[in-house]
Amino acid sequence: MKYFFLFLLGCLTFTGWCREVISLNHSWRFTPGYETAKGVYAEITLPHMWNQDALAGKADYYRGLGNYERELVIPEAWKGKKLYLYFKGVNTVANLFVNGKHVKEHRGGYTAFAADITPYVKFGEKNVIWVRVNNAPQLDVMPLLGDFNMYGGIYRDVELVVAEPLHFSLFDFGSRGIYVSQENVSREKADLRVKALWEGELNAPAVLRFSLKDAEGKEIAGKEQTLFSERHSVELSVEVEKPHLWNGRSDPYLYHISVELVTGGEVTDRIEDRVGFRYFRVDPDKGFFLNGEHLPLKGVCRHQDRAEIGNALLPLHHREDMEIMAEMGVNAVRLAHYPQDKMMYDLCDEYGFVVWAEIPFVGPGGYRDKGFVDQPSFKENGKDQLRELILQNYNHPSICFWGLFNELKQAGDDPVDYIMELNRLAHQLDSGRLTTSASNQGGRINELTDVVAWNMYYGWYGGEPSGIGGWADEVHKRYPRRAIGISEYGAGASVLHQQEDLVKTVAGSYWHPENWQTYFHEEHWKAIDSRPFLWGTFVWNMFDFGAAHRKEGEMNGKNDKGLVTFDRKVKKDAFYFYKANWNRDDPFVYIAGRRLTKRSEALQTIKVYSNQPLVELSLNGRSLGKKKGEYGTFVWNGVELHKGVNEIVARTKAGGEDKILLEW
């Protein structure tokens, strides 16, 4: 029965011809700590994380050991195959044991890794898998700190890969062993290069072959090449004529590629992937260009966690985040501050978001402590994490930028030389993309990556929101030959905190009224929109996220700079301001200030957001006239409420209507 179940699972998760990929998310036992009492455990299903305490805002949440164990029956019939465990994300350090023997250690919580368990398993028997996970802070694993929770656990999927002896390598820093490069891309042609790494003995003549199909399934290119036993890497190139380009949100066209190893006429392994042809550049005066056309990047940053489940996300959660971002009209996303689930990069390919992907090289920002320690073990770990990020995500057309650091300082251990090393490494591994960084400093540190961006908080940690424009002009003048962007800008808001007047929020305080965040973004967007030299700008943050050390806003342990709440249930007013400016496709109308249901005066200002040219407002059934908007914003001053409950309706021709009740 068990074998039948395994077989069934294998069929369901089958991604290659001969390779079987079996989900191992079920039937784990979890025990926290060490020297735990025998027989005391929780039965859990992956993805899993153990830090509910962090979600509850406990600043010194548990950072230590957690143990995951499960049995694994390996059928006798698998003798002669190669068996791997593939972990997609374990935070932070994972040690894998099979039948009590140490197999592998992996250091870094955001990237995948594979372990060859073939020599450790007993065929035809039950085997015991034990993963010892440690999320304690350590000085030689990135990140050393950050304004986000480092939830411990096996929080992404685990798979068993059952491969034929001749198979694509899983050992190149957790990649799938297939790298698809594109060069000289234009509307006329593209050079496609497929590099494959393989493992195993060649007992008979073998070939590598690939086939590229368009979205309708028509083969448009293909090639094969003989394998030679002395080399475990092989490359094939073809020219694709008149490629249908991957063109961001407007046309995220994807081809399909399948790469196979064939020996004695039999396919022994196959990897499927998608290819999107595109070219891009960044100009210091004119910003970002995709396929030769100017594309202002309207970006947001996304942390991966959410209320109640932390980082232990299911596919439906990733998809929901994408849908929310798409609804707002986002066309670029900074997946901060670490590599995110591969599914996110897949979805970005599909939705057509331009991606900034990054390693967790996070500096102290406004806090004390260090993001960089000048010791070899830290530096090696950071380079490995960069290799993993790039090699695991090499084929995604959506990724245009590799982010190398966030808010590092030069005081103390100076990271400049090391960042230069990372920059060289990124280019060595991938000559087709640009490097970037998120700075909050002046000085040499801003001259190291291909393009640079700053985390700016005018009107939150200091200054006024309108200050952002002057700042951008100043930096553009100071670095005329550098492409500059804004990697973060944002202000906190609680949907429970409402005020009638616009009073500036004190960042670290309890009171985080929503209307200050809205105003902050209105001012920022106007300044950004009139400065096309900014190559990309990214709201901090799309969603509220867990930051256990924070004691501010409506509850401890949360950074509430999201445009959407931590549970994804409420879209704040600022969300609709952006939707009105960024989403040209779905007509809508939205009345702002709707959560401030009780007003203290009869005369009120009513603000409406819409992407339609004209909005009509009515009060208790009486029209107050139609208005044209500016920046998607329509304002009626001096609206006189009756005593009691008032009905306010905003109507548009194509975008329907919105209705709220206000009490005076």
Q: Which of residues 259-278 bind ligand ADA (CB under 6 A)?
A: none
310 in contact with ligand ADA (CB under 6 A): no
Q: Cα 557 to the chain's mean position, in Å?
A: 21
Which of 512/571 has CB closer to ligand ADA?
512
Give the C-alpha separation, 372 to 364, whole Å.
9
Binding mask 353-382 for ligand ADA (x = CB under 6 A): ------------x-----------------
Out of 164, 358, 388, 407, the active site residue is 407
Which of 365/593 has CB closer to ligand ADA?
365
Whether 508 and 526 have beta carbons less than 8 Å apart is answered as no
Bridge partners, 435 (sequence order): 402
Among 149, 331, 385, 406, contact with ligand ADA (rule: CB under 6 A): 406
Q: Are strands 484-489 and 452-455 parallel, antiparallel or unpaired?
A: parallel
Which of 46/563 has CB closer to ligand ADA?
563
* Cα atoms in the Cβ-side hemisphere of radius 13 Å centred on 6: 17
Residue ranges with strand state E in 407-514 = 434-439, 452-455, 484-489
* Cα atoms in the Cβ-side hemisphere of radius 13 Å centred on 356: 36
Give the C-alpha separation, 123 to 474, whole Å.
67
Q: How far is the CB of 490 from ligand ADA (least distance, A)?
A: 6
DSSP state of 554: T
Whether 631 and 594 have beta carbons less than 8 Å apart is answered as no
Bridge partners, 571 (sequence order): 564
Q: Where are the alpha helices (DSSP H) in 479-513?
A: none
488 in contact with ligand ADA (CB under 6 A): yes
List, as one string, the DSSP characters of 210-225. Answer: EEEE-TTS-EEEEEEE
With CB under 6 A, what is the number of residues at the site for ligand ADA?
A: 11
Look up 488 and say whether it is catalytic: no
407 in contact with ligand ADA (CB under 6 A): yes
Give the C-alpha separation, 149 to 338, whole Å.
12
Looking up tokens 């899983």 gives: 170
Which of 535/540 has CB closer to ligand ADA?
540
Among 559, 565, 581, 604, contact with ligand ADA (rule: CB under 6 A): 559
Give the C-alpha separation, 142 to 371, whole Å.
8
Binding mask 208-227 for ligand ADA (x = CB under 6 A): --------------------
Which of 114/145 has CB closer to ligand ADA?
145
Q: Which of residues 336-355 bind ligand ADA (CB under 6 A)?
A: 337
560 in contact with ligand ADA (CB under 6 A): no
Give the C-alpha separation, 172 to 166, whole Å.
16
Which of 74/359 has CB closer to ligand ADA?
359
Which of 109/146 has CB closer to ligand ADA?
146
Binding mask 3-42 for ligand ADA (x = CB under 6 A): ----------------------------------------
Which three-class secondary structure state does DSSP give residue 503?
coil
List, as one string, the DSSP characters of 40-61. Answer: --EEE-SS----HHHHTT-TT-
Binding mask 427-466 for ligand ADA (x = CB under 6 A): ----------------------------x-----------
Residue nearest to ligand ADA (CB): 147
Cis peptide before 13 (omega within 30 of 0): no
Among 82, 512, 549, 561, contact with ligand ADA (rule: CB under 6 A): 561
Q: How far is the CB of 455 from ligand ADA (least distance, A)?
A: 4
Binding mask 130-149 for ligand ADA (x = CB under 6 A): ----------------xx--
Which of 489/577 has CB closer to ligand ADA?
489
DSSP state of 394: T
CA distances (Å), origin 366, targets 147, 409, 542: 10, 10, 21
Q: How far is the CB of 337 from ligand ADA (least distance, A)?
A: 6
Which of 276/363 has CB closer to ligand ADA?
363
Q: How far is the CB of 541 from ligand ADA (least distance, A)?
A: 7
Give the C-alpha separation, 53 to 151, whole Å.
10
Q: Where are the alpha helices (DSSP H) in 329-466?
A: 342-351, 376-392, 416-429
Q: Tokens standing for 121?
A: 């398993």
537 in contact with ligand ADA (CB under 6 A): no
Instruction: List residues near ligand ADA by CB under 6 A.
Output: 146-147, 337, 365, 406-407, 455, 488, 540, 559, 561
**Catalytic residue set:** 407
